[in-house]
């Protein structure tokens, strides 16, 4: 799988330009686009939940998806690693590419896709296993470690990167559910990065956490940006402003505005965006 | 005309009177509460209906207690009174003779058949007994009515806006709830004690260790001294091994099939398939075990025998294998249904979390869902084992009565429950070792299933701590 990835990375070496970045003349050299969605429509049975969405996720950037409840931002996020496949009545059309390969294409195995596009959920959902086994889960099922010591290294590295290792190093064999909520969420992040994904999707990762735990996770997201491409759904506009470089505003299933975060929060083009970020609705 | 009846009538009258009084109390208590409150209902501490219940309970409970107490103690009390009346007649007789005499007096008084000729003395005693009984009944009726009336008056006078009727009524409700929950416990204790005492009688005849570790089971004993018959052997090991073997075979059939069915239905089946198949599978649980017994004896056992013969094995026509397989089929629904519930109850977040890691559906089931549902599945299995151990009919019909000590599943074996049934079927005297052995076996069965349940609870709790 890694060879495959390398081949694709080399294919992608010519830089792609994100439209949002292009709109900002002050922006530094435009980042490379890893995932690109074009004309995405999503239907739940007969009801259309997303209308013609175009979004690019840029390498080493955090893209925030904001909007009022039921606007389709989580639905869009779940299209990016095909988690919507689990829902029988859900139908996705349009094109979504990862490194220019259509992730809904016939030649893409959803299992491999999800190994490259990891996900962190709204509510911390550690498996009913020990802390160690939670992080080792992905490497085990994907056969990333041949020996026990390699696995130990991956677990430690992932926990360190998630900023959790020092807190749990003396109790790795205790159940993951014995941790506090914020620690559980960081455990889930460690679990997601243990299989070295390229993109990490976060679906309101802080909505079940207290302010201190939220601050830690936000700090972590900013650090993770160095290695990964991140998309985060959030209800909290301060959070979007703090952690993201690009922001997409959804309303009623339509992508209203997709710009650099600074642009959205200081000088939005659309009246609806303006109303939402100033708290007039949603 | 039997003279014992009036007392029954009196007590019935008392019961109806108590209920009527309580109903009246319910109505008037409520009205009086409304009256004291005037137009302003919020002045009342408790809602009017609580005042009604307050009066009703004061009417019903004290007189109800008198009624119940009398029903409990009337036998011994009347007997003591009768004995003191008969005093000189029974002096110097044995307890058994006195018991017989008292019984005849009671029977004569209530008009039933008596075991001896009725002489004037006996008739006098019976009349005396009947009149005592009816006097006592009248006394109880009077006391009960008086208490009910007094309760009514007391509660009626206490009704005022400040009366905390709700708190008092709710306390009574609370006590009723506690008593209800004790019924099951008390019944269980009663069953255990009755079985225990009979077992102790058995163990006074047959040594405990001979029973527990004896290798031969042959419960036929000579009833008369001159009878030709075996002396009886009460070694329960063959029964235990037979039970164990059949249970094991049943679980070998039921556990994989039930668990796989549960996994398929909970994780892979389409809703349409699930909605059709799950109820059908659960119907299996409703088939009477006798019907399974037919199936085992007429279809499965001959089939197994035929197959065995064709490959040169000697198979008994009633084999442990046949009974075990059919019993396994019988308990499949228990395992599949309960495991299915346990699997469905695993939070969807775990399922999605695993799938989002790039795990396949089957990896998710094996590594995440089953561990999370394990306590439910273990509980299902232990319930199934209890079912299998306690099952009787299938074994009677398919595995036979021969208490062979064997490890060969193709032989006929028998189980603890089957032996209990055969020991107690028909006319039996309740002081021979043969009959009492049934109680000892029952006690063993009870101890084993109790231990299984305690173990199941322990497992469930241990995993729950770890996984929830």
> Rg for chain A (alpha carbons), in Å?
19
- Alpha carbon B224 to its chain's center: 36
Strand order in the sheet with A199-203: A101-102, A90-98, A33-44, A47-58, A254-260, A246-251, A62-66, A229-233, A199-203, A117-120
- In this prediction, residue B93 carries a pLDDT of 73
What residues 68-107 of chain A have any CB closer than 8 A to a CB of chain B?
81, 83, 86
User: Please, where are the H alpha helices in B38-94?
Assistant: 48-90
- In this prediction, residue B261 carries a pLDDT of 92
CA–CA gap between residue A44 and residue A63 (Å, rounded): 25
SS3 B218: strand
Contact by Cβ (8 Å): A100, A7: no
**Are A175 and B467 inside 8 Å of each other by CB?**
yes
Find tokens 């620690």 and name the residue.
A183
Looking at every residue in chain A, the average pLDDT score rounds to 86
The answer to whether residue A282 neighbours chain B at the CB level (below 8 Å) is no
**Smallest Cα distance from A120 to chain B, Å:** 8
Flag whether A155 is in a domain: no
Show Cβ contacts of residue B194 under 8 Å, excluding neighbours closer than 6 positions.
none
**Smallest Cα distance from B461 to chain A, Å:** 14
Q: Is B63 exposed, middle or buried (0-12, 13-18, 19+ CB in 10 A)?
A: buried
Contact by Cβ (8 Å): B239, B217: yes
CA–CA gap between residue B246 and residue B404 (Å, rounded): 13
SS3 B411: coil
Beta bridge partners of A41: A93
Cα–Cα distances in Å, from A243 out to A22, A219, B310?
A: 20, 8, 76
Show Cβ contacts of residue B252 under 8 Å, excluding neighbours closer than 6 positions.
B324, B328
**Are B356 and A188 inside 8 Å of each other by CB?**
no
Looking at every residue in chain B, the average pLDDT score rounds to 84
Nearest of B57, B77, B262 to residue B167 by alpha carbon: B57
Q: Which residue in chain B has the smallest CA separation from A175?
A: B466
Mutation choice for B interface testing from A118, A128, A174, A207 by most B CBs within 10 A: A128
Q: Which residue in chain B has the smallest CA separation from A115?
A: B358
Q: Domain residues of chain B, as ranges?
A: 5-163, 233-467
Please name the member of B350, B358, B363 whose beta carbon is closest to the beta carbon of A125.
B350
With a cut of 50, list the residues of chain B below it in pLDDT. 1-4, 468
CA–CA gap between residue B12 and residue B6 (Å, rounded): 10
Cα–Cα distances in Å, from B49 out to A207, B31, B35, B163, B177?
A: 47, 9, 13, 13, 20
Contact by Cβ (8 Å): A191, A161: no
Please name the member of A128, A137, A191 whose beta carbon is closest to the beta carbon of B467.
A128
Tell me which DSSP letter residue B233 carries: E
Q: How many CB atoms sit inside 10 A of residue B173's CB?
A: 12
CA–CA gap between residue B396 and residue B408 (Å, rounded): 18
CA–CA gap between residue B218 and residue B120 (Å, rounded): 53
CA–CA gap between residue B330 and residue B309 (Å, rounded): 26
CA–CA gap between residue B375 and residue B459 (Å, rounded): 7
Q: What is the pLDDT of residues A142-180, one digit of tens each?
A: 988 888 899 999 999 999 988 899 999 999 999 898 899
State how many domains chain A has.
Answer: 1
**Are A118 and B468 inside 8 Å of each other by CB?**
no
- In this prediction, residue B84 carries a pLDDT of 81
CATH of domain B233-467: 1.10.3720.10
CA–CA gap between residue B86 and residue B100 (Å, rounded): 13
The answer to whether residue B372 neighbours chain A at the CB level (below 8 Å) is yes
Whole-structure pTM value: 0.73
Does residue A41 carry a pLDDT above 80? yes
Q: Phi and psi of B180, rounded to 5°?
A: -60, -40
Range of the domain at A110: 33-125+200-277
The answer to whether residue A115 neighbours chain B at the CB level (below 8 Å) is yes
Show Cβ contacts of residue B281 under 8 Å, excluding neighbours closer than 6 positions.
B261, B332, B333, B336, B337
Contact by Cβ (8 Å): B4, B131: no
Residue B344 has which token pair?
Answer: 């469905």
- In this prediction, residue B223 carries a pLDDT of 58
Does residue A1 carry a pLDDT above 60? no
Find tokens 């009347």 and name the residue.
B78
Using the Cα atoms of residue B240, residue B246, residue B247 and residue B249 in order, give the sign of their dihedral: positive
Using the Cα atoms of residue B99, residue B105, residue B107 and residue B110 in order, give the sign of their dihedral: negative
CA–CA gap between residue A114 and residue A191 (Å, rounded): 13
Q: What is the pLDDT of residues B287-311, one digit of tens each?
A: 888 898 888 888 888 888 888 889 8
Show Cβ contacts of residue B259 under 8 Å, excluding neighbours closer than 6 positions.
B335, B336, B339, B377
**Smallest Cα distance from A88 to chain B, Å:** 10
Beta bridge partners of A199: A117, A229
- In this prediction, residue A5 carries a pLDDT of 45
Cα–Cα distances in Å, from B335 out to B295, B321, B347, B382, B389?
A: 21, 20, 20, 9, 15
Contact by Cβ (8 Å): A104, A161: no
Mutation choice for B interface testing from A127, A143, A177 by most B CBs within 10 A: A127
Flag whether A210 is in a domain: yes
**Smallest Cα distance from B365 to chain A, Å:** 12
Tell me which DSSP letter residue B92 carries: T
CATH number of residue A112's parent domain = 3.40.50.300
Flag whether A164 is in a domain: no
Q: What is the pLDDT of residues A49-78, one digit of tens each?
A: 999 999 999 999 999 999 998 888 999 999
The answer to whether residue A186 neighbours chain B at the CB level (below 8 Å) is no
- Percentage of chain A lying above the pLDDT 70 cut: 89
For residues B177-210, one letter each, b for 16 or more C-beta atoms within 10 angstroms of the residue's C-beta and e for the rest, the string is: eeeeeeeeeeeeeeeeeebeebbebbbebbeeee
The pLDDT confidence band at residue A2, using thresholds 50, 70 and 90, is: very low
CA–CA gap between residue B266 and residue B263 (Å, rounded): 5
**Residues in chain A within 8 Å Cβ distance of B357:** 114-115, 118, 137-138, 141, 191-192, 195
Query: What is the separation, in whole angstroms, between the first and last Cα of chain A?
Result: 43
Show Cβ contacts of residue A91 under 8 Å, excluding neighbours closer than 6 positions.
A42, A43
Q: How many residues appear in chain A? A: 282
- Percentage of chain B lying above the pLDDT 90 cut: 18
Mutation choice for A interface testing from B353, B354, B361 by most A CBs within 10 A: B353
Tell me, letter by letter, the H, E, C secondary structure of chain A: CHHHHHHHHHHCCCCCCCHHHHHCCCCCCCCCEEEEEEEEEEEECCEEEEEEEEEEEECCCEEEEECCCCCCHHHHHHHHCCHHHHCCCEEEEEEEEECCEECCCCCCCHHHHHHHEEEECCCCCCCCCEHHHHHHHHHHHCCCCCCHHHHHHHHHHHHHHCCCHHHHCCCCCCEHHHCCHHHHHHHHHHHHHCCCCCEEEEECCCCCCCHHHHHHHHHHHHHHCCCCEEEEECCCHHHHHHHCCEEEEEECCEEEEEEEHHHHHHCCCCHHHHHHHCCCCC
**Residues in chain A within 8 Å Cβ distance of B460:** none
Cα–Cα distances in Å, from B396 out to B35, B102, B147, B243?
A: 70, 44, 57, 12
Parallel, antiparallel, or unpaired for β A62-66 and A199-203?
Answer: unpaired
């Amino acid at each position: 799988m890694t060879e495959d990835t390398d081949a694709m990375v080399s294919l992608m070496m010519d830089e792609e330009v994100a439209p949002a970045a292009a709109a900002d003349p002050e922006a530094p050299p435009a980042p490379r686009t890893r995932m690109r969605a074009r004309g995405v429509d999503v239907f739940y049975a007969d009801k259309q939940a997303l209308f013609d969405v175009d979004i690019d996720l840029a390498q080493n950037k955090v893209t925030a998806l904001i909007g009022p409840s039921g606007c389709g931002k989580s639905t869009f996020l779940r299209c990016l690693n095909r988690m919507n496949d689990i829902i029988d009545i859900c139908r996705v059309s349009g094109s979504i590419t990862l490194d220019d390969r259509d992730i809904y294409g016939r030649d893409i195995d959803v299992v491999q896709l999800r190994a490259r596009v990891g996900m962190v959920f709204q509510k911390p959902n550690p498996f009913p296993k020990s802390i160690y086994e939670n992080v080792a889960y992905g490497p085990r099922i994907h056969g990333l470690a041949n020996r026990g010591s390699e696995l130990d290294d991956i677990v430690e590295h992932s926990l360190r990167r998630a900023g959790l290792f020092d807190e749990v190093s003396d109790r790795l064999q205790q159940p993951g559910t014995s941790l506090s909520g914020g620690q559980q969420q960081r455990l889930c992040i460690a679990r997601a990065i243990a299989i070295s994904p390229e993109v990490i999707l976060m679906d309101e990762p802080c909505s079940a956490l207290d302010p201190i735990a939220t601050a830690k996770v936000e700090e972590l997201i900013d650090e993770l940006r160095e290695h990964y491409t991140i998309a985060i759904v959030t209800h909290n506009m301060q959070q979007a402003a703090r952690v993201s470089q690009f922001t997409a505003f959804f309303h009623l299933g339509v992508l209203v505005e997709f710009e650099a975060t600074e642009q959205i929060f200081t000088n939005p083009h659309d009246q609806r965006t303006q109303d939402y970020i100033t708290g007039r609705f949603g | 005309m039997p003279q014992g009846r009036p007392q029954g009538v009196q007590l019935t009258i008392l019961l109806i009177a108590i209920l009527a009084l309580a109903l009246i109390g319910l109505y008037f208590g409520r009205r009086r509460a409304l009256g004291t409150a005037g137009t302003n209902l919020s002045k009342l501490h408790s809602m009017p209906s609580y005042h009604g219940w307050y009066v009703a309970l004061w009417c019903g409970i004290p007189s109800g207690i008198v009624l119940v107490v009398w029903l409990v103690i009337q036998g011994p009390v009347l007997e003591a009174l009768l004995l003191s009346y008969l005093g000189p007649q029974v002096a110097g007789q044995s307890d058994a003779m006195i018991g017989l005499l008292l019984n005849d007096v009671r029977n004569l008084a209530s008009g039933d058949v008596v075991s001896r000729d009725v002489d004037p003395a006996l008739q006098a005693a019976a009349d005396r007994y009947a009149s005592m009984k009816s006097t006592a009944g009248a006394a109880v009726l009077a006391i009960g009515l008086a208490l009910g009336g007094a309760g009514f008056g007391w509660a009626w006078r206490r009704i005022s806006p400040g009366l905390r009727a709700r708190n008092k009524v709710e306390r009574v409700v609370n006590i009723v709830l506690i008593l209800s929950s004790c019924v099951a416990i008390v019944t269980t204790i009663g069953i255990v004690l009755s079985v225990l005492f009979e077992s102790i009688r058995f163990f006074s005849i047959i040594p405990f260790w001979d029973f527990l570790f004896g290798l031969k089971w042959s419960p036929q004993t000579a009833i008369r001294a001159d009878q030709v018959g075996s002396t009886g052997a009460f070694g329960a090991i063959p029964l235990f091994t037979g039970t164990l073997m059949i249970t094991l075979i049943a679980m070998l059939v039921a556990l994989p099939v039930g668990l796989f069915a549960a996994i398929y239905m909970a994780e892979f089946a389409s809703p349409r398939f699930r909605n059709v198949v799950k109820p059908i599978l659960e119907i299996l649980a409703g088939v009477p075990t006798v019907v399974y017994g037919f199936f085992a004896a007429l279809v499965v056992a001959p089939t197994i025998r035929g197959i065995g013969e064709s490959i040169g094995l000697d198979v008994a026509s009633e084999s442990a294998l046949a009974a075990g397989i059919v019993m396994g089929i019988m308990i499949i629904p228990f395992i599949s249904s309960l495991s299915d519930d346990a699997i469905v109850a695993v939070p969807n977040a775990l399922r999605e979390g695993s799938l989002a890691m790039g795990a396949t559906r089957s990896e998710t089931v094996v590594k995440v869902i089953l561990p999370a549902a394990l306590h439910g599945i273990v509980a299902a299995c232990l319930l199934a084992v209890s079912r299998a151990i306690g099952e009787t009919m299938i074994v009677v019909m398919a595995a036979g009565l021969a208490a062979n000590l064997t490890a060969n599943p193709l032989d006929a074996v028998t189980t603890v429950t089957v032996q209990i049934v055969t020991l107690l079927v028909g006319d039996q005297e309740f002081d021979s070792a043969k009959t009492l052995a049934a109680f000892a076996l029952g006690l063993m069965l009870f101890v084993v299933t109790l231990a299984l349940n305690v173990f199941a609870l322990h497992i469930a709790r241990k995993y729950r701590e770890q996984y929830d």
